[in-house]
Structure 1
Amino acid sequence: MNAHVDAQVSAGRPKPGRAAKDRLDNGLPAVPNALLIAVFALLSLACLYPLLLVVAVSFTDEQAIVTGGYSIIPARFSLYAYRYLFEDAAQIFRSYGVSILVTLIGTVSSTLLTALLAFPLSRREMPYRGALAFGVFFTMLFSGGLVPWYLVYNAAGLNNTLWALVVPHLVAPLNVIVMRTFFANTIPQPLIESAKIDGAGEFRIFAGIVLPLSSPVLATVGLFQTLAYWNDWFTSSVFISDNKLVSLQYLMYKTIYNIQYLNSGLVDATVAGNATAAIPTETVRMAMAIVGIGPIVFVYPFLQKYFVKGLTVGAVKG
């Protein structure tokens, strides 16, 4: 009887609207979509503003920067910073080619080697799995130091070769841990066991089952390695003395260092003449940033849809 009365009372009540349902489900007031859009639009503008400022300053006259400071709208438009930067255009394009080649070879090789190491570590039946995993983790905490690092690569004959820019970043321990966790938590173990029953070997399982199901983590690690190779200037400074093999980032670093040295007052004015007065210090820095960031801006949108999924799934459990 009581149940029948409760049903009638419930039937007579008006059904809650969408906003009321959201408040009932979440226990919090529903946030209007317009407010969320406005908040994210402001956050997007806050992220874009520094980039737009760098672009604006790179196209501004140097004297206007000195007198009026930075501005999102150039006070006096000028291309002098880019003309100064591309006075040695052949060297810049050559360094661009070196960076692109090293990034492509390094990213593909590094992602494949990381996967080849992470997959066995994700298999519980692998012998000495714990010891090998500890060895990978140990290298995140301790390193041999700069001098042994240089001596090893020098003894291998990698000085003044492109391999000197590729090999040091081939396997990153953090990427191995992220990829191992992704394999362990995402690839169904019964799927691997059924493939074994059908006669598939380990390499067939890895190439035919694991890699096709691991696009998110492969894209995430690939993006990490792309950034690591593209932004690396230190390796060139250690192993490369041939100007034909220097990376773009190291070339930009040397240019900025030379400008700072010329403007430091340590150069004799009788030797330097009026050369230092013609150097657009601030604007050329911004022009270098624009020149150096170009390819990465175009790579990230293609990997963005995989990035968050690959990083979060591979980092929840160890």
Structure 2
Amino acid sequence: MTLKTVQRPDVRRVVPPPYRTPSLRARWSDPLFTTAAIVVLLCAIAAVVYPLYFILIASVSDPNAVYEGKVWLLPSGLTFEGYQRIFADPKVWSGLQNTLVYTVLGTAISVSAILGGGYALSRKDLPGRKLLMLVFVVTMFFDGGLITKYLVVRDLGLIDTVWAVVLPGAVGVWNLIIARSFFEHTIPEELREAAQMDGASDFRFFFGIALPLSKPLIMLMVMIHVVANWNSFFDALIFLNDDTKYPLQLVLRNILIQSDVSSAATGVADAASYAAAQRIADLTKYAMIVVSSLPLMIALPFMQKHFTKGALIGAVKS
């Protein structure tokens, strides 16, 4: 019996070439795409930056030139009268001091409460965890209203105190959900179990391990509450009676209202006085926008990378 030799076909494994990130030259090789991308980005930058720049140059320009449309790229009729009038008022300096106190104290209270509450709600062994979370979520959709809020603050004896400004809105439910999601998906349960086997208590694990690993979340919460407390004025308007305790935003608001009222009152007397009062009101208005916004505009760009990283890591995951 003769055995036939069967030759197997030459099968060669096709190995795809390794993926290489396209070079910068290759990515920008399409001139049409490059031009379109540059134009869109420049338009977006102009739409964001130019209004801020216009407010800045309008604050040091003659209001008549602003009305006539002469101020669009460079200031016209250079004057610093608006800033001089604002900083000559002692209430502005006391308001700035109060705002710094409210911002630092309110941010510290809010961040501490949100980090502690978010970590507690992220623990699956917390009794009544789902019920507590439901109670927090309900407050996002139902509010007792301003009158109820005022009565609670009054009955607690917080009227005309710093606590009436920093405590009522200390814990934002959405920020609490972000913190809970961050701890759930970033701090593994095995890490806590290992720490407990080494004798670490819950407090020691939270302060010694969980918080050092949560720097992006901490920076995100700090930025959110710094901006919120710096710009807040409504609670101070409702709960504060002593004008020496007013924050900067409320002081500037009152200055603007007084300028408008004085210009309207002088308008009855003669046109020249009305024009002068309206000029001062416009200078004050633009200068107040710059004074109230400039500190945050200077500080926030240095924290932008922490804000982006914290927002992505702390995002709610399904």
Q: TM-score, normalised by structure 1?
A: 0.85
Q: Provide the aligned C-alpha RMSD in A.
A: 3.2
Label 1:106 to 1:272 Cα distance change in 2 as closer, same or farther (>3 A). farther
Tell me which residue corresponds to 2:303.
Answer: 303
**2:190 pairs with 1:190:** yes
In 1, the alpha carbon distance for the partners of 2:171 and 2:14 equals 66
Tell me which residue corresponds to 1:58.
Answer: 59
SS across alignment from 1:68: coil
Tell me which residue corresponds to 1:146.
Answer: 146
Partners of 2:266 and 2:277 within 8 A in 1: no
Q: How far apart are 1:154 and its partner, in Å? A: 1.2
SS across alignment from 1:126: coil
Q: How does 1:269-284 map to 2 (within 5 A)?
A: 269=268, 274=273, 277-279=276-278, 280-284=280-284
Partners of 1:169 and 1:229 within 8 A in 2: no
In 2, the alpha carbon distance for the partners of 1:195 and 1:16 equals 42
Structure 1 runs, 4 residues or longer, greater than 6 Å off: 29-35
Tell me which residue corresponds to 1:127.
Answer: 127
Q: How many percent of aligned residue pairs carry the same amino acid?
A: 30
Q: How does 1:235-314 map to 2 (within 5 A)?
A: 235-263=235-263, 265=264, 269=268, 274=273, 277-279=276-278, 280-314=280-314
Q: How far apart are 1:282 and its partner, in Å? A: 2.7
SS across alignment from 2:241: coil
**Which consecutive residues of structure 1, in runs of 5 or more, have no partner in the other structure?**
24-28
Tell me which residue corresponds to 1:78.
Answer: 79
Q: How does 1:144-223 map to 2 (within 5 A)?
A: 144-223=144-223
Q: How far apart are 1:237 and its partner, in Å? A: 0.7
In 2, the alpha carbon distance for the partners of 1:93 and 1:272 equals 33
Q: How does 1:6-17 map to 2 (within 5 A)?
A: none
Q: How far apart are 1:109 and its partner, in Å? A: 1.5
**Which consecutive residues of structure 2, in runs of 5 or more, have no partner in the other structure?**
1-8
Partners of 1:61 and 1:80 within 8 A in 2: no
Tell me which residue corresponds to 1:26.
Answer: none
Query: Bigger radius of gyration, 1 or 2?
Result: 2
Q: How far apart are 1:36 and its partner, in Å? A: 5.2
**2:68 pairs with 1:67:** yes
Partners of 1:62 and 1:281 within 8 A in 2: no
Partners of 1:106 and 1:169 within 8 A in 2: no
Label 1:201 to 1:4 Cα distance change in 2 as closer, same or farther (>3 A). closer
Residue 160 of structure 1 aligns with an amino acid whose one-letter code is D
Q: How far apart are 1:69 and its partner, in Å? A: 5.7
Q: How does 1:42-57 map to 2 (within 5 A)?
A: 42-57=43-58
Label 1:225 to 1:31 Cα distance change in 2 as closer, same or farther (>3 A). farther
Label 1:192 to 1:30 Cα distance change in 2 as closer, same or farther (>3 A). farther
Label 1:244 to 1:272 Cα distance change in 2 as closer, same or farther (>3 A). farther
Q: How far apart are 1:313 and its partner, in Å? A: 2.1
Q: How far apart are 1:62 and its partner, in Å? A: 1.7
In 1, the alpha carbon distance for the partners of 2:32 and 2:192 equals 45
Cα-to-partner distance string for 1:11-39 (whole Å, 9 max, x where unaligned): 9xxx999469x89xxxxx89977875665
Q: How far apart are 1:93 and its partner, in Å? A: 0.9
Label 1:33 to 1:200 Cα distance change in 2 as closer, same or farther (>3 A). farther
In 2, the alpha carbon distance for the partners of 1:260 and 1:268 equals 11
